[in-house]
Structure 1
Amino acid sequence: MSVKFRLIIMNFLQFFVWGAWLITVANYWFGTKGWDGSDFGAIFSTMGIASLFMPAICGIIADRWVNAEKLYGLLHVLGGLTLLYVPMINDTVTFFWVILLAMAFYMPTIALSNSVAYNALKKSDLDVVKDFPPIRVWGTIGFIVAMWITNLSGNKASANQFYIAGVVAIALGLYSFTLPKCKPKNTTEGSNSIVELFGLDAFKLFMNYKMALFFIFSMFLGAALQLTNAYGDVYLDDFKLIPQYADSFVVKYSTIIMSISQMSETLFILAIPFFLKRFGIKKVMLMSMIAWVLRFAFFAYGYPEGFGLVLIVLSCIVYGMAFDFFNISGSLFVETSTDPKIRSSAQGLFMMMTNGVGAIFGSVVSGYLIDHYFTSASGKDWHDIWLTFAIYSLVIAIAFAFLFKHKHNPKVIKDLTH
């Protein structure tokens, strides 16, 4: 079995574990359990909380003491066992802490999977820049397949979604022990202090106006991602409360409709090099923000038939641009704007602001606002919810266009995307 194929399996299963429950957990929370909405936002904040510290800690462990593929495998086994326990929970407080534990095990595996893949490709004398993206795309495919399986098997609101994710996570954990060894560096070369050793010197970037502004906008965009992850599927499922839409395709297969977002993502990934060379990093990031406005606005005016269905599908299509254009171009901005000595730490700071601080901000604030201002005895006012999120994204886009200054350098982009 070739190294590429083995890494494709790893990436496919990596995101299958996430896709099996992430988009449908709201249906389990509100539908099966009937729990209060004000606490639900906190569930999605667990990813942010875990991202604040676990990737950095596990990165240090893998760099200094334990093979990355072994740590990766151990984390997945522990995460899988945690997910298998979720269906036994009958109160929101315990549910939060168990999901937080599961995320503490899962979130660092995203970065570790990249480390394992890069190491394996280099050991096989393969071109990381050329060969890794086609491998990584299978992660998105795994996410889509998991969503489809959860929906088509009738488990989008059942506890079985956690059993599916848990079993696959354990299987991936065991499989990872067979991957090429990614040994620790066991070195502190270049680290003159505890601050440098733990990458904390990257926080000095906040003293630079442009970098500080970039990280702040990263936080706000990270919040937007949590809004769509947390409420997209349950929004479509709620059309069942309207008699004329109760048996519609959108209600029956809401998760499959949402999976169009991930399908779109695979296409926009391939388009990024062209857009970066043609328009530059700032304009591509601005396109992402406009795409978030359209994502939420299309949802606000969508409904399960006719033109409304077209808007729902369009919302899923623009998601690919909204998600990929900021995350990948943002990563390239960090790569080209920071000192090589702190570049890895700066990338970690970018992840912390988007998946950490931004995720917590988006989850907690949206949960509070929706429960207190957009929920009544008759249900949630999804039109106003999505319209509010669209206005939020529009304000961010306008502020970014005027405040963030960055000169396009085609040569830098060419060097990075080839």
Structure 2
Amino acid sequence: MAVAEGALPRDARALPGMLTGRLAALMFMQFFVWGSWQVTLGLVMQTRGIGSLIANAFSVGPIASIVGSFLIGMAAVRYLSPKVLMVVLHLVGGALLFYLPALLTPEGGDTFVLLLLVYSILYMPTVGLANTIALKSFGERVDRFPFVRAFGTIGWIASGLIIGWAGLSADPQIFRVAAVVSVALGLYSVTLPDVAPDAPRGGSVVREVLCVEAFGLMRQRSFLVFIACATLISIPLAMYYAYASAFIGTVGIENVGGTMSIGQMSELAFMFSMPFLYRRFGVKPLLLVGMAAWAVRYALFAIGDGGDSLWAVYLGVALHGVCYDFFFVAGAIYTGTIATPKGVNAQAQGMLTLFTYGVGMLLGSQIGGLLYAQLPATPTVADWQQMWWYPAAAALVIAILFQLTFKDETKGRMA
């Protein structure tokens, strides 16, 4: 039987607080690294004359999510300590980040995209590894995890604010900022709790990597509809990540990194409300509001400019909390609700990542690239506005399809 926390000696009670602080620092640095370069990469590439490669650069993340997160994150972690993998992957990744700015030229653009793919394959598994270290370290006190994970969002916000205030939003040096923190995180990871590798569940590694049991959940019509709509809504999502920074720079906002951080502030505000809202309203209203918010966001971008309608651009960015949390966070909770009774929660979450951050965002990056290719070499605000109507219409159609075809069969249950 667990001993009540209040009955523990004073030193023992202090230890969980110290652990929470250490893991919060881990999450802060983990997402600071990613946010440093991801947010304004499109603007940097457009400024350096390789805007035509933005689609390819933002396709490497989805590819890396599939290759890195599943092969390294799910297979290698069974045989190596998550802590050891964090040290190695962040130190090697940091070295690659230092070299990337030299390749951001028209001559080195293709090599830049290739090396960014290699880096992303190293980085993407560390997101899951950080979660694994935190969850295993807390043991039964998993209720502390949302607080720790929130520091990841704070790290992303901080990176955007620092990049913006330093005037680096359009500068290749964003990668060197990320490199310094990546190396620091690699060294810091040596001090992290030494949690054990995952024990095999009895099936083969290949079955776990391919999420064989989780795919069986799609025999339920409602879950199949959800996965299909989650994949489709990730297509316009990819266009936001790839081209929003370039658009914001075009409308005349100088602090692009800081402006984009407004979206993460909104995300943080809504994150802790998700379990309550899920219990209160159920999954369908939340998912529907999330999808509709994507349509509204892109419509705001389509009417926003550098004049009297600049408010629409800021509001479109600020909608990120609704767009992301109401669909992707609520979707993760819904997936857990469906998968937990079958004992395949981890596989199902991996499968959701595969379809959204993998298949959906890969398609979105390439479709976005085709639309961007129709713009002039130096797009005007009017050119951008015309482009944003396409993802706005797509998100609206997906929301309508979801409303007509999805039936919530989990009312009254909570993962």
TM over 0.5: yes
1:125-204 aligned within 5 A: 127-129=141-143, 131-185=144-198, 187-191=199-203, 194-195=206-207, 199-204=211-216
Counterparts in 2 of 1:121 and 1:148: CA distance versus 1, 3 Å: same
CA distance in 1, matches of 2:387, 2:110: 26
Is 2:113 the partner of 1:96? Answer: yes
Residue in 1 that maps onto 2:4: none
Residue in 2 that maps onto 1:84: 98
Residue in 2 that maps onto 1:400: 402
- 1:342 Cα deviation from its structure 2 partner: 2.3
The runs of 4+ residues in structure 1 deviating greater than 6 Å are: none
TM-score by length of 1: 0.89
Q: Percent identity?
A: 32
Residue in 1 that maps onto 2:385: 383
Residue in 1 that maps onto 2:125: 108
Q: Which runs of 5+ in 1 are unaligned?
A: 241-250
Residue in 2 that maps onto 1:121: 138
- 1:298 Cα deviation from its structure 2 partner: 1.2
Residue type of the alignment partner of 1:313: Y
Residue in 1 that maps onto 2:247: 235
Is 2:343 the partner of 1:329? Answer: no
Q: 1:120-154 deviations in whole A, cap 9, x for unaligned?
A: 112xx6x212x111111111111111111111111
- 1:30 Cα deviation from its structure 2 partner: 1.0
Residue in 2 that maps onto 1:35: 50
CA distance in 2, matches of 1:206, 1:219: 14
CA distance in 1, matches of 2:40, 2:99: 17
CA distance in 1, matches of 2:187, 2:353: 27
Residue in 1 that maps onto 2:257: 255
CA distance in 2, matches of 1:199, 1:360: 19
Residue type of the alignment partner of 1:45: S
Q: 1:321-355 deviations in whole A, cap 9, x for unaligned?
A: 11011111111221121353322111100011111
CA distance in 2, matches of 1:196, 1:232: 36
Residue in 2 that maps onto 1:352: 354
CA distance in 2, matches of 1:271, 1:363: 30
Q: 1:78-117 deviations in whole A, cap 9, x for unaligned?
A: 2111111101214221111111111101111111110000
Residue type of the alignment partner of 1:232: A
Q: Which runs of 5+ in 2 are unaligned?
A: 1-16
Q: 1:358-386 deviations in whole A, cap 9, x for unaligned?
A: 110000111112212x4366646111111
- 1:396 Cα deviation from its structure 2 partner: 0.6
CA distance in 2, matches of 1:95, 1:133: 35
Say which of 33, 44, 56 aligns to 2:70: 56
Residue in 2 that maps onto 1:247: none
CA distance in 2, matches of 1:277, 1:54: 34
Aligned-CA RMSD value:
2.0
Contact 1:265 1:320 in 2 (8 A): yes
CA distance in 1, matches of 2:43, 2:318: 22
Q: Give the aligned length.
A: 394
Residue in 1 that maps onto 2:23: 7
- 1:305 Cα deviation from its structure 2 partner: 4.5
Contact 1:191 1:197 in 2 (8 A): no
